[in-house]
Structure 1
Amino acid sequence: MHKFSFMLIWEKKIPEFLLFRKNIVNRILFTAAFALVFINIYAPFGVNTWFNVTKLELFLYSSGLILTGILVMVISRIIMFQISRKMRLNYLQYGVWEIAEISIMALVYTSLKIFFLHEKNDLVDDFVNSLQITALVVIIPYIIAALYFSWQDKTRKLESLEQQKDENPAKATKLLPFFDEKGVMRFSMFPSDIFYLEAADNYVTIYFLNKQKVSHYLIRNSLKNLEEYLSEYSFIRCHRSFIVNFEKVKLIRKEKDGLKLEIDAPTEMIIPVSKTYSQGVLDEFVKNG
């Protein structure tokens, strides 16, 4: 199951905000600024000792290297942007692309060191050292930028939903949107058509009525995250792995192993109620009774 979940993550398409032209440009500029400051202030891995230069020379040399790195990133992102117009990369492809981009930059830096500084060291050692420095000064701003773009994207979508709600409250309440753990809306459905939600590892399966048949949709999130959000509707947590639409419960029965909820659906649906949540379910039954 864990292997299956891992493969699902890697095969998922990357979010669109990573391919927005504005975000690509901002990320390259932020990475360049971060690299310039980081190399000259912290001198990672004793880079100033390796290159045997003064601080001023290090600044000038690092500026030249960063400009070269920007050129590599620009070419790489232009190619990625063109490819993404035909097909969207998944996380595995995107990760391989990032590693290749960093490796190419490290190879370019190694070549520049050999041809311009005329230092005759072991080529493999030089490449490994360049790869370490490049990975350090590139991965950190990459992660920061990705988190910021994700936050921007989430904020923009939430504002859009709020605007729709203000403009047309009746329409906004018809569909219930479901978001993944990153805040990206993946699925929306009429609340009255949803039977229950079931958790498995880091995923939640939503079971709903579709053309008089039971269908399901899988999103990456947890019941804990969804529980508070769904509490505004008629949904209630009844088990560690289940949230049910209480409007769909047609029968509550007590058996030897605890309470059971029978769902009003085209096929038989029996949802268990754990002791932890049994009192809450009974209170909800009394309140709606």
Structure 2
Amino acid sequence: MRNERTDQAINIIKANFTTYFAISLMLLLFILFFQPFSPDGLMFKHFEDKVLFMSGFGVIVFILLFARQIVPSNLNTYEGDQSQENVSIAYLTDFILATAITLGFVFYLRYVGHIDISFFIVVKIAIMAIIVPAARNVHQKISYLQKHNQQLNGRIVLLEKKLSQFAETYTDAPVELHSEYSADIFRVQANQIIYVSSADNYVEVGYLQENQFKKHLIRNTLKKIEEQLNTFPGFIRTHRTSIVNMQYVENLNSKNNKYWLSLTASAQTIPVARQYLMVVKELL
């Protein structure tokens, strides 16, 4: 029966095989076409022998990348753990990876390719070796950002769903608009209210009842009615004299620096003061 560490190693191989193979292949192709290790290039009688020899560099990189990956989880900072200690350890591990690739290439060239190793060749190998952990970290960062973006999108969808449920719950709920002396109570569903506007010592409530536009007067101030409607989404103040339910707004109109809203369920127009104009535009 496989232990937990073996299962973890297998999962790592499955998750990173394509990425590490691509990095190894890109480096292999670079070495194959540019032959940077000797001025005259590596000489082989047959092209197949050259490809076989060059493949060894890709194998070295591929193996060492997985050796870098199969380390304690606290060394892998791309999952979002960006503490100073773990970042330092990750940099150290990448340095060890680049050093291991450099040494691996040097020994492979010297003892398999029988090439004299000069300081200039070692420098070129070291530069290529540094590119490997850099490419790995770029890919891991992109993968983390994509995963994080998917999580955020999922949260947005969930929040939108909850907001929709919240809106449906409250807009379908009945609201009681009280008169100044509580003697008159006007009961109506929140989603049936189209607008509320002040009318001297009264407020006028425009609403729908059985798809018919109607009005109701309540003796109260617009400010107090606004306080009663605050718990219901969609109602906004547009003017010192008006509150409107945004679900019934059709268009924002303007003429001679004056603004008003036209409604879908009524011929009534709702004035918009400049101080509320930006909020109205954002909600349309």
TM-score normalised by the chain length of structure 2:
0.43
Report which structure shows greater RCO (CA 8 Å, sep ≥6). 1
